[in-house]
Structures are given as structure tokens and as C-alpha cells.
């Protein structure tokens, strides 16, 4: 794109992407990880996430979410959080441990 960048190859844990509804959906039975759609990251200065309609989803490098604590106060395994459309409250996805993972195995 002219602005921002596309990221792909991420996997969702604790949810799945519903391409028809264009939002997060409940995981299917026996489906631990699902491939996430391509995400367009478009930086906007001083943007505040909306109070409803999105889940601020953390992205981790590996399935082991724990890492050493960095100077930013986050795990060294933590990358960034992205807004993903949803029709449920943030706490719904937090309780399920929903996150995006860069690498399932390395």
C-alpha cells in the first residue's frame, strides 16, 4: 500500500477470523490455532481505540507468551497489540486468552 504495511502469516489462538462477518468469532471444536487474515497496519498519531466494536489483540512472537520483562514493562515475547473487529466485549476475548501468534513452532 501507499501508506502503512500488510502483515500476514499470523495465527489466532482462542478465536478464529470470520471472513464473511469480517470479525472475530468463537473457535470451532478441536481447532486450537487458525490462520488470521492479512492485516493492514496504518499508523495514526494519537489515535484512541474505540470503546466498543474492537478487541485490542496482543501479538506474541511464539506460543510461550512469557518472556523476560523488558524496560517497557512488557514481555520480550510481546510484539504489539492490534485492533480486531468484534461484536463482543473485550473481556470476552481476554477470558479466552485470545492472541495472535507469529510462529507456532520454531
CATH assignment, 5-103: 3.10.490.20
Tell me the chain's radius of gyration from C-alpha atoms. Answer: 14
pLDDT in tens, 20-53: 999 999 999 999 999 999 999 998 999 888 888 9
Query: Hey, how many other C-beta atoms are within 10 angstroms of the C-beta on 72?
Result: 8
- Strands 54-62 and 16-18, bridge-based pairing: unpaired
pLDDT in tens, 59-82: 999 888 776 666 666 667 889 999
pLDDT in the model for residue 93: 96
Residue 27: strand, helix, or coil: coil
Q: Kindly state the average pLDDT of the residues 9-23.
A: 96
Query: What is the reported pTM?
Result: 0.85
Amino acid at each position: 500500500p501507499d501508506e502503512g504495511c500488510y502483515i500476514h502469516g499470523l495465527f489466532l489462538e482462542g478465536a478464529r477470523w470470520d471472513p464473511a462477518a469480517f470479525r472475530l468469532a468463537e473457535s470451532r471444536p478441536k481447532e486450537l490455532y487458525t490462520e488470521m487474515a492479512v492485516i493492514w497496519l496504518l499508523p495514526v498519531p494519537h489515535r484512541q481505540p474505540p470503546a466498543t466494536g474492537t478487541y485490542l489483540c496482543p501479538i506474541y512472537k511464539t506460543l510461550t507468551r512469557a518472556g523476560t520483562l523488558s524496560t517497557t514493562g512488557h514481555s520480550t515475547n510481546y510484539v504489539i497489540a492490534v485492533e480486531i473487529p468484534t461484536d463482543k466485549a473485550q473481556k470476552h476475548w481476554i477470558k479466552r486468552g485470545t492472541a495472535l501468534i507469529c510462529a507456532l513452532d520454531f
